[in-house]
Structure 1
């Protein structure tokens, strides 16, 4: 690993660890604090891709994935009020969502890297974030996938309520997913500012 990649590696690791901790704390009715830190992983991936290329970005993604696995393993050993902090379904959903979404981000960014400076980071983050949200919440909470971990009671997530408290009726996990996805989309737009500033400083040619 090139030494110049170390800041990106450390940033990704810090984001993954922070998000795994902050996801335990609620923010309002539909979100956790982790929803505000995790999307920064896409910013790190995109900066690495712009400055050092797709291969470097993929390496940083694999580091983040490995750190996430370690966090999940630790979480399975910590028992909270309602059981282990991390269940098998959450671990599977988190790992599959992270790796799939981040690698999609790298691929989309690479395909669009020669266009306008904002197009690649915005499109790749929006698509990656959408895939991430869909994979994680479906795998972790959908009643259709209860066979993944029969002993894990996620019936609370299947409670039918108005979406976000005012929309059509749907399982609770759908509201959680939409709220999470909305934060990701908002942060994708805001992240264009630090993306532009950081990449201009590290790689003025771009």
Structure 2
């Protein structure tokens, strides 16, 4: 059994997490990001912490893990991811509830930034006074914290063709070309893209991802950027 298979089957991972591995292409995600135990990793928007659990198993004391999710998102995801990080007691892993406009890392200190099913949040305003960050500012922050040759992996829900990102954000989806333009404007370069990362033929695309027609069965795309 290779190291990746051992990681996926680790006893430290709950069975409930493993149940999502195939559907969300966990092993492929780890491979695409070229993650290593000694990396410094910043995970944005862990949600309930499914991928956080994998990162906690993978990143050892020679690396570090920062999991960052603005506290306003606790209303949607609870504090499961925070508890996962804090329960480990690992000094090289910590949780941050700061705004994504101020990423909790020093300049050029991060090897990998991982953002799964999340960039669309920058266009989602659950209430008029709540914003999760200005896209150009947040993507510039990602560029700031990455080391030279560091990588930023995003995976998000695909929007239907013919709409702009503002409209897609309301559906909790993203338009790949618009993200690419914004991210490359920071100086990062798209090094890999897969618009069929997860193929769900029954996803109607034009409904919010929480709609029963799409919930847990959205089409998703992957983009990998390099500094």
TM over 0.5: no
Structure-2-length-normalised TM-score: 0.26
- Normalized per residue, the structure richer in helix is 1
Which has the bigger relative contact order, CA under 8 A and spacing at least 6?
A: 1
Structure-1-length-normalised TM-score: 0.28
